[in-house]
Structure 1
């Protein structure tokens, strides 16, 4: 990614990574993650629950080998969006969270979402990525648009009003080819 470094992901270890994740998800910049008041045990429980779920997976994202972001992928037929839209074959749901930092790097978050999308589309079965960010999360709406997401409609989830958006492999490749993803 044009001088930003190398991104990789590994499966999240809910117990070993819980302290790190706790710092990330309770940071004021992670308000839309909705875990501001979580204690360490809450974080462990949530990620143990995800680890045990057949249709939901969490990964720790590394930047040049150092923890830098959280990535979740899920099957929207069973998790997050079950019953809220008509899923298509090859749909994959996604969440991502960039670690808080005191020294932000210009273009870093865009590079992270690009790396997340590349990881998801590395699976040939993935035809379309689905996201459901809070309607008030304007920063993530801009990032999603930059990698090719197209909003479809607002939906009501139990915990929030969300902007249901989709990005096909072709839309992602077109956005990346235009150079809008850093």
Structure 2
């Protein structure tokens, strides 16, 4: 429901922030999803959880498809996680989906996230979830998939 000006303002804020980045993912050469990477000790979760060395926060947003592609959103979250874990310093990904967002919770579980606990953020009740490199690999390789 955001206006173009609101979106531009938000991403200018992210671009200017030293602990928050946004990336556009392409599918067939067209923008198809957004990945945000952030330092959870400085953005989103500051003071709300027990951080560990190597933690990185993540959000992703998939554009509405012109033609639905079965499994596309699952492929997006896997690509996002692979991109995050490509950095050898990243040991764990931390997310905070809304407690009512069952679709994202299912995707998170499918790639290895575990719910730690419910937390209260200014804008929502959220589930604090974490996924280590090992949990991601176990969930997305071999028989686990």
Aligned to 1:43: 7
How far residue 130 of structure 1 moved from its aligned partner, in angstroms, is 0.3
Select the residue among 54, 58, 82 that pairs with 2:18: 54
Contact 1:61/1:67 (<8 A) preserved:
yes
Cα drift, residue 43 of structure 1: 0.8
Give the one of 67, 71, 80 matched to 2:44. Answer: 80
**From 49, 59, 74, the counterpart of 1:95:** 59
Residue of structure 2 equivalent to 1:133:
97
Q: Distance in 2 between matches of 1:101 and 1:107?
A: 12
3-state DSSP class of the match of 1:126?
Answer: coil
What is the total number of aligned residue pairs between the two structures?
A: 145
Q: Partner of 1:95: helix, strand, or coil?
A: strand
DSSP 3-state at the match of 2:97:
coil
Question: What stretches of structure 1 of length at least 5 have no aligned partner?
Answer: 1-35
Two-structure CA RMSD over aligned residues (Å): 1.1
After TM superposition, which residue ranges in structure 1, 4 or more long, deviate above 3 angstroms? 178-181
TM-score by length of 2: 0.96
Instruction: Tell me the TM-score normalised to structure 1 length.
Output: 0.77
Aligned to 1:143: 107
CA distance in 2, matches of 1:156, 1:162: 6
How far has the Cα of 1:66 moved from its partner?
1.5
Segments of 5+ residues of structure 2 without an aligned counterpart are: none
Aligned to 1:27: none
Trace 1:110-121 onto structure 2 (pairs within 5 A): 110-121=74-85
Q: Is the 8 A contact 1:146 1:180 kept in 2?
A: no
